[in-house]
Chains A and B, each alone.
Chain A
Amino acid sequence: MATLPSSADPLVIEDLTVAYGSVTAVDGLSLRVRAGEIYGLLGSNGAGKTSTMKAIVGLVQPASGRIRVAGRDPVSEDMAVKEMVGYVPETALLYDALSPREFLEFVASVRRLRYDDYGSLVHELVGALQVGADMDRPLATLSNGTRQKLLLVAAFLHRPRLLVLDEPFNNLDPRSVRIMRDLLTAYVREGNRAALFSTHTVEVAERLCHRLAILDGGKLQGEGTLAELRTMIRRPEATLEDVYLGLTAEGEATTRAMELLRGKA
């Protein structure tokens, strides 16, 4: 296993650009996630959240810019970065023919984990998320929620330095959301850990994240704590939803959509 520099920030992104052909998904994004922090990426569909996360875990190559995970480069030191990161993709695309037990065995094996390291954690998570009854059923036959829970268990398995969670609460029942929220909050408090968390649900971001970045059209529109973001729009009493609509073009788009639905257009 790679030796990890503990002093470096869990995640530093500088001037990141991700492009698919002529389409620029992320445009000059810079941000820093500190140890002990849950950092939220808030934005509508197509804002660049998923592309940013894919670049961090090595699923897409940045067109330009720099990413460092605990001081390591995901492009030239991909194995070291993968050792440190736990990733939950936006869509639970897995080996459908495997059962949850077989899938977790595969992930634990390729991560070279010892049973002592993960056994009790798996037991607790599987029990808390109520996946136990489905451990031997093929993933293809399971609900999206159960698959999502399994991805969350797999992401925690090796106690990663950085959790990269792309809409991780999609399809989860309220009870599981609560459990995962508490777990995540407790998890980042120890061991120089942090989590990058994307969502388009304002309430989740408001409750969970220490700091937030608001993305729109691949660009950073604002960054900071909720208080700092309120200052940016000069409305001290504003909710995160107000801040979000204030910083993006969506406030205007929403008003326009309402007018169309009322038949005023």
Chain B
Amino acid sequence: MSVEIPPASYTERAPLGWRGALRIAEVVYDEFSFQSIYALKQGNSSVYLEGKRGEGAVERARRRVAQSKAMVAFLLFMVISVGAIGLRTGAGGLGLTLTPVDYATSLVAGELLLIFSLLWMTGLQVAPTLLGSKVFPLLATLPLSQRDMRRVGFIVFLRIFDAPALMATFYLPLAVGLATGSVLAALVLLPGTIITVALSCAISLVTARFFLLRVSGAEGGTPGSLALRWVYLLLWSLPSLAITAFVAFSLQILDVLSFWEASNPGAFRTMLLLYPFPFAYLTSLAIYPSLDIYHLLSAPVMWLSVALYAAAAAVSVHWLRRAPVDLSLAVPRSSRGRRAGDSEVRTDSPSVAILHKDLRIASRTPGYAFLILLPLLDAFILGLSTMLSHPDPAQAERFAIAAVTVAAMLATFFGPAFFATEVMGFSFTRTLPIPRRTLLWGKASLILLVYVIASLLVMGLVAARIGNPIPFAIFALAELPGVLAASFFELGVLFHKAEKTGIPVVNLYSGAWWAMLVVFPGLLVAGIPLLLYLLGQNYDRALAVPSMVVSALLLLVATAAWALWGGRGATEA
């Protein structure tokens, strides 16, 4: 059948302008939020959106993204407020010998570094999703100019950071101004926070792109390529490491700075070249105006640094105006000309296969790898800081136990997120014969693995520092059933929900509120044995470990019976 269709008439369109770009960005941002929350491209939509739950899904996605950003903004509010209180208390209140200028410099620099790290971490959680979400390639098929497209991309990218970035930009200067009573300090610090936000946004996108190419898109199934991806992922965890390290070592850092300033003022001054010290130094000089020769000599170095970082921020903003779209549209490498490899496919037992699959997925998914690495790194840093700062072996052992407790809590805290990988291919996985107990064992093994490696790391530190890690090893072993019980509880709840509707837990940014509802009872399960241990320590030390073991085992039996054999699981062969 032949049909003659009259041609349509086309007219030249005027550029969108910022107002038009804002309107389109609104739609694109909704789509990006929706994909983040429901993991649409990973296949959860068909499970989750069918039926009544599909109604209002976009509105729910919008709300959850807003809630997650509010959480990050609140965290920044708390961090900045604590810093401001420290500024008001002064170095003397902490027993430090730093001069007021250097104390204020250190504290404000620490705050800026924390803001930088937190925004970088937030960006890293989300920017890879934005670059891989295909929202911009879809937009590129519409009659929009490159300039308009870039405007839309820039606006959407900024919206990822809006509430946290606004909190960081304006609340830090305000808090410093209020704590010190210096309006000048607040005004001087404002450019510093703007530059900090610009640099952290840019580095988020740079690193997101790097990890999309070198980690998410990396080829190779050999142990070597897998190890290399994990090394990259360790680098990826640096922002969170910086936050933990700064919090854990803050007093030691201030101590070192005091010593440094006293022994080598020249070297101390060179630090002003490094971000974020010039902005902090400028602020502290605004708080404590001085004509001291030392400060006068430092001023040119400080201004030079400020100018350099301001220029870097300007370049960053210029780059960010086009990068979100350009990077999303970058053509992937072609596989043409590649030789056919071997087709050997090996098998494991089902539970090991689930664990193996999760570790492989994590090795190409920074957000997921972060959940595995964070408890390990945190336990290691806390262990190291306490070992170094407590020369008494008995005290050091106590702190090692605290470090492992933190690892147990963090492993439990992130447990629900380990379920997120199942969401990625959920519509396909649900057609495979995977009984609930196999899946739960696979996931619980991952949580247990994180806890065991964290314990071994701290045990290594204990052995190096004290020489007798046995009491510590007994403690770590006694808590192990508690961690397993908590994972069974959390994963059991998630699995029950997944059987009905699918789970929209995708990453920390998008699924944080929902995960919390499962996490807190889970933390309680893992915490009961630890609580009994502490009570035992206070009342009868001989009972501390036995009461911990008995309670952990009882909890394990109860949660395993419910999670592995309860409900539909009982009918599964």
Contacts and interface: CB of A to CB of B under 8 A. Distances in A.
Interface of A: 2, 20-21, 54, 57-60, 76, 78-80, 82-83, 85, 87, 89, 91, 93-99, 101-102, 104-115, 118-119, 122-123, 126-127, 130, 132-138, 140-142, 151, 258, 261-263
Contacts of B438: 110
Contacts of A109: 347-350, 352-353, 356
A112 B438 CA distance: 12
Nearest to B439: A110
Interface string B545-573: 00000000000000000000000000111
B406 interface: no
A130 B340 contact: yes
Contact of A87 (B47, B219, B431, B573): B431
A118 B343 CA distance: 11
B357 A106 contact: yes
Contact of B432 (A101, A107, A135, A263): A107
Closest 8 CB pairs of A and B: A93-B43, A132-B340, A109-B353, A82-B433, A97-B364, A126-B343, A133-B338, A97-B361
Contacts of A141: 217, 332-333
Contacts of B348: 105, 109
A208 to B, nearest CB: 22
A108 B347 contact: yes
Most buried by A among B216, B218, B341: B341
Interface residues of B, number: 63
B291 interface: no
B3 A93 contact: no
A215 to B, nearest CB: 18
Query: Which secondary structure characterizes the binding site on chain B?
Result: loop
B1 interface: yes
A263 B6 contact: yes
Interface in B7-57: 41-43, 46-47, 50-52, 54-55
Given A21-B51, A21-B54, A89 B427 contact: yes
8 contacts: A58-B431, A91-B43, A96-B41, A98-B361, A105-B346, A136-B220, A141-B333, A258-B3
Nearest to A93: B43
Nearest to B222: A136
Contact of A127 (B41, B340, B571): B340
Contacts of A83: 433
Interface in B251-304: none
B511 to A, nearest CB: 18
Contacts of A134: 335, 338
A132 B356 CA distance: 22
Contacts of A101: 221, 343-345
